Structure 1
Amino acid sequence: MLRLAISAFVVLAAEPTFVLVDTAVVGHLGPGALAGLGVGGTLLSLVAMVGAFLDYGTTARSARWFGGGDRGRAVDEGVTATLLALVLGVVGVALGELLAVPLLHLLTGANATVRTASLHWFRVAVLGTPGILVVLAGNGWMRGVQDTRRPVLIVVGANAASAAASPLLVYAAGMGLTGSAVANVIAQLVGGALFVRAVHAEGRPWRPTAARVRGQLAVGRDLLLREVAFQAAFLTAAGVAARMGTAEVAAHQIGFQLWTFIALLLDSFAIAAQSLVGAALGGGDARAARHTAARVGRYGLAAGTATGIVLAAGWDVLPAAFSSSPQVRHQAHLLWPFLAGMQPFAGVLFALDGVLIGAGDVGFMRTVTLVGALGVFVPVTLAALHWHWGIAGVWAGLTGFVLVRFAAGTLRAMGDRWAVVGGAA
């Protein structure tokens, strides 16, 4: 577990570390540019939301075959996922360019400054969508076969190059916010090309069977609906923050990127659990899968508690690192208690998410996420706009979303219905 978790930690840290560096670089262009990056980045995540099943779904399916002693069929899942990623990535670019203006108008309302900045960033950044999806597919099948070395080399290398390029493009080359988007595209396309080369080197045929495609799409259906719930909630939060003001949406960008960064780091245990639980169930050992679930839950609680303490201690220093605007820092301080206070619950939640995804229990996760997002997060966020609760109201909604999923996931993991043995369907 530690070997898989450390590898996952490094891979997961690479992308959000680049985003945080990029956020800090853009933040010193001013609140308008930072707000544009936040709204544009939120829309890009909507375009790339199909990556959930290419990543997590492929991990679970590959791990099942790997645990049953069939590495070839485990890699075949990676071939299928990579081909799907390329096709869906091209479609994503086309749809993103076509719908950019109306979607950004919906997100930003009458805030023309933020809308213009986000449009300039998004039109360039969306070109990296095929790379985003191929990277997710590559990480998925490599985790499934418990390959811990190559994902680290590929993802860290691509993102390190882009992190170095971002300040050069933004400031030295005078490209401003557009330079940030170009740096994003560099990371995604380089990483995607390296993962394509890696799966090709396995020597498996690039002819996915209809059964394998149906199996991936079946898992994808539930994970995609789950991701739609996430994105509906996050887009609502970004849109509400944009309507509150430039300082509010800029502070939300800081808080949300930190939340995303921490969530991905806490996911390192979850991803280890995906691989180990999938392999255990594929090998017919339900007892080992349940033992892994209990252990990863304890690790998640410890990591989440430690993260919450660090955030609480840095409530003044961290916002100042991302913006020199007193107004933005003030708004960040309003959301900070929610960001820090939810971390112990989030640590357990993310860990158990990994257990249930590894077990293929995606139907349950879909339902819980839809209930939490549409029944708690979105209504509270809209209420914050209507009753003028400010950015703290938006983050109260996010906290409620985490708590609902935490309670449901804990109860599910305590039972046995998820621990079904056998290979991938």
Structure 2
Amino acid sequence: MDRRLGSLAIPALGALIAEPLFVLTDTAMVGHLGETVLAGMSIGSTVMQTVIGLCIFLSYTTTPMVARRLGANDKPGAIRAGIDGIWLGLGLGVILLLVGLPLTGTITSAFTPDPAVARQAYHYIAICLWGLPGMLTVLAATGLLRGLQDTRTPLAVAAGGAVVNVILNWLFIYPFGLGIAGSALGTAITQTLMALVYAAVAVRAARANEVSLRPGIGSPGHAFMVSSLMLLRTATLRIVLIVLVWAAARLGTSELAALQVTMAVYMLLVNTMDALAIAAQAMIGHDLGAGDSVGVRQQLNRIAGWGILVGVVLGIAVAVVSPVVGAVFTPDASVRALLPVSFIMMAVFLPMCGVLFVLDGVLIGAGDVRYLALAGLWPLVSFAAAIGAMMWIRPVGIAAMVWLWLCYYGAFMTARLLVLLLRARTSAWLVTGHDR
């Protein structure tokens, strides 16, 4: 079991950290352009990551569907499910681009009263939107390959994309002097190139198995229901991050910039731990399709143990580097002074996050989307109460960072872990067969 887990999780790790590496690299480069630019990027990247995060259902619904059909010995049906997802991703990306462009100014103004920060965020979002069709295609195509138990191809594409992104962003930000706009342009181009590579891989797989490439989304009613439930599940996660950034912007520019640095590192670590969750999605979906519910329960226990272990290791690493890592991202003394306590808060809660992400991946792999969607509402209420208390107190400086992360980790993530543990202890999610 460990060998199978490793063969899926290790390559998945590289693919998962590609997008956070985009943001982390951008943060390091843009951070040296000044506090205002970094604060603008905090808003801009939060908006774009929210849009992309809300669309993660393209991957998270495609992976278990493809895996189930593969486990039931229906490879052509599995590939067709992935092709449907790719068409849905491309179409949705074009729609969001057309809708998002005229709304960009309104969105950025809602986040901050500082016109200079809002201007930087506007430039970032307006350019990044052009990469959405490509990025959503990437999400769906990645789900297809993961469902086929192939995490090596996404690793290769993500690694190539990360290298191209770093090169393009450096060229556009510094030699071409485009600043934050250069960062957005490099990322949008990279996402489009990655989509073209994935499209070629999907076309080759479809032709090899005599699967039609015509546009479609399978059963529209089922696709709409599953996508809507996954969208609701993801919306609760993104609402929390948006409110967190909104609150930090009200507390101060330094606090907002420090949140951006910490969040960029956190997202990289989240995706490191999420490699286990992605492997769980593929394994659980495949084995439920094959009818092996006993083996699935054993997998849950084993993968959860690995989640705790990875969280502990990452937490120790973050705690060790917390006093010095801020210098990599910004020369601003007021921002750097806030970073050590932020990283210590992260380190304390990472082991809990490790098991949380595994449980989430297991239930996604089982197709238990209705529970995941509805169970996310209670943690949202818990977070709202904590944020309300913080905004009433209005802490500043280090106290503000402690409050921000207590709201996120202590109120929201802890509540999420509890609702997932309650579900995992039952057998209601263990549904076998070709489709759920």
Mapped contact 1:48–1:92 kept (Cα < 8 A): no
CA distance in 2, matches of 1:7, 1:91: 32
Partner of 1:182: 185
Residue pairs, 1:196-235, within 5 angstroms: 196-202=199-205, 203=207, 204-207=211-214, 211-235=218-242
Is the alpha carbon distance of 1:211 and 1:191 closer, same or farther for their aligned partners in structure 2, counting shifts above 3 Å? closer
Mapped contact 1:18–1:160 kept (Cα < 8 A): no
Partner of 2:127: 124
CA distance in 2, matches of 1:366, 1:209: 25
Give unmatched runs, 5+ long, in structure 1: none
**1:305: how far off?**
0.7
Residue pairs, 1:370-389, within 5 angstroms: 370-373=377-380, 375-389=381-395
**Is it true that 1:139 corresponds to 2:142 in the alignment?**
yes
Mapped contact 1:271–1:354 kept (Cα < 8 A): yes
Partner of 1:418: 429
The sequence identity of aligned pairs, in percent, is: 33
TM-score by length of 2: 0.94
**Is it true that 1:310 corresponds to 2:310 in the alignment?**
no
**1:379: how far off?**
2.9
RMSD: 1.4
Partner of 2:265: 258
Partner of 2:419: 408
Give unmatched runs, 5+ long, in structure 2: none
Is the alpha carbon distance of 1:8 and 1:326 closer, same or farther for their aligned partners in structure 2, counting shifts above 3 Å? same
1:253-287 Cα offsets, whole Å, 9 max, x none, are: 01111111111110001100100000010000101
Residue pairs, 1:356-371, within 5 angstroms: 356-371=363-378
Letter of the 2:243 counterpart? T
CA distance in 1, matches of 2:285, 2:84: 18
CA distance in 2, matches of 1:210, 1:136: 15
CA distance in 2, matches of 1:111, 1:378: 25
Is the alpha carbon distance of 1:188 and 1:211 closer, same or farther for their aligned partners in structure 2, counting shifts above 3 Å? closer
CA distance in 1, matches of 2:53, 2:99: 13
**Is it true that 1:170 corresponds to 2:173 in the alignment?**
yes
**1:209: how far off?**
5.8
**1:35: how far off?**
1.0
**Is it true that 1:237 corresponds to 2:244 in the alignment?**
yes
CA distance in 1, matches of 2:58, 2:47: 19
CA distance in 2, matches of 1:118, 1:379: 28
Partner of 1:342: 349
**1:194: how far off?**
1.2
Residues matched between the structures, number: 423
**1:154: how far off?**
1.5
SS of match in other structure, 1:189 = helix
Letter of the 2:371 counterpart? F
Mapped contact 1:80–1:213 kept (Cα < 8 A): no
CA distance in 2, matches of 1:368, 1:213: 25
Mapped contact 1:240–1:382 kept (Cα < 8 A): no
Partner of 2:338: 331
1:305-341 Cα offsets, whole Å, 9 max, x none, are: 1111111111111122111111101222342332111
Letter of the 1:170 counterpart? I
Partner of 1:152: 155
Letter of the 2:425 counterpart? M
Alignment partner for residue 248 of structure 1, among 241, 244, 255?
255
Tell which deviates more after alignment, 120-129 or 335-344. 335-344
Mapped contact 2:87–2:216 kept (Cα < 8 A): no
**Is it true that 1:2 corresponds to 2:10 in the alignment?**
no
Mapped contact 1:51–1:137 kept (Cα < 8 A): no
**1:226: how far off?**
1.1
**Is it true that 1:113 corresponds to 2:119 in the alignment?**
no
Partner of 1:61: 65
CA distance in 1, matches of 2:264, 2:157: 22
Letter of the 2:414 counterpart? L
Partner of 2:403: 393
**1:208: how far off?**
5.7
Alignment partner for residue 85 of structure 2, among 44, 65, 81?
81
1:140-169 Cα offsets, whole Å, 9 max, x none, are: 010001112221221211221111221221
CA distance in 1, matches of 2:179, 2:217: 46
Residue pairs, 1:14-29, within 5 angstroms: 14-29=18-33
**1:417: how far off?**
1.1
